[in-house]
Amino acid sequence: MQLTKYAHSCLRVEHDGGVLVIDPGVFSDAAAALDGADAVLITHEHPDHLDVEAVTRQLDRRTFVIHGPASLTDTLGDAAEALDPVRPGQSFTAAGVPVRAHGGRHAVIHPDIPVVDNLAYLINEVVYHPGDSLVVPEDAQVDTLFLPIHAPWTKFSESLDFLRAVAPRRAYALHDGLLNDNGLGVLNSNFTRLSEVDYRRLEPGTRIDA
């Protein structure tokens, strides 16, 4: 299984000839990530995780299934015809890859901002993408964690505790599209210094084995 990290929160998973894309949002090169996709996982409806226009354009070129919370229906518009609603705790196959959904709700940004549905995905029992949440997956030994490092809802101490609780073999930065080089330097240094796992940030377009 090969993973390509696109900007912010977007991943492309290639396995046994299938292509699975996670969270092609407006801060990512969604068109490139979606090229040839057989299935798409969406954690939640926010535009930095779902570029509706890019998804709709790709659906016009190639049919694929969108897996995500049922609440995506209104956001997707015409593309909702491709939606296969997923529930927390559900196991399914996407682009030939086993997936388990965890969590269910987005992390709280502020009490005045409504909390939306959010699913975290365990891919092939080894790769974990939590979307906008810090939900520790149950009954799972995560090998590769994509760690949200910066958002309106994050705090460094909570992200670090989440990393320690999941205890993966390695972790890569996720949700980093709002940071400049100074912020990236500070956070990457602290996560590296204070975690006991192999942590690093991948430049957009970097491909790794999983």
- Among residues 175, 165, 156, 157, the alpha carbon closest in space to that of 197 is found at 165
**Helices 181-194 + 156-166 axis angle, to 10:** 40
Number of residues assigned to the chain: 210
- pLDDT score recorded for residue 86: 98
- pLDDT score recorded for residue 84: 98
β-bridge pairing 65-68 and 39-41: parallel
Distance of CA 111 to the CA centre of its chain: 24
Could you tell me the two tokens for 153? 């809802």
Positive or negative torsion for Cα 191, 171, 38, 115: negative
For residue 107, what are the β-bridge partners?
none
- pLDDT score recorded for residue 136: 98
pLDDT in tens, the chain (210 residues): 999 999 999 999 999 999 999 999 999 999 999 999 999 999 999 999 999 999 999 999 999 999 999 999 999 999 999 999 999 999 999 999 999 999 999 999 999 999 999 999 999 999 999 999 999 999 999 999 999 999 999 999 999 999 999 999 999 999 999 999 999 999 999 999 999 899 999 999 999 998
- pLDDT score recorded for residue 178: 95
Q: Report how many domains make up the chain.
A: 1
- pLDDT score recorded for residue 208: 97
Amino acid at the residue 209: D
Range(s) of the domain holding residue 53: 2-209
CATH code, domain with 55: 3.60.15.10
- pLDDT score recorded for residue 159: 98
Amino acid at the residue 12: R
Contact 55, 45 (CB under 8 A): no
Beta strands in 33-149, from DSSP E residues, in sequence order: 39-41, 65-68, 83-85, 91-94, 97-105, 117-123, 127-129, 144-148
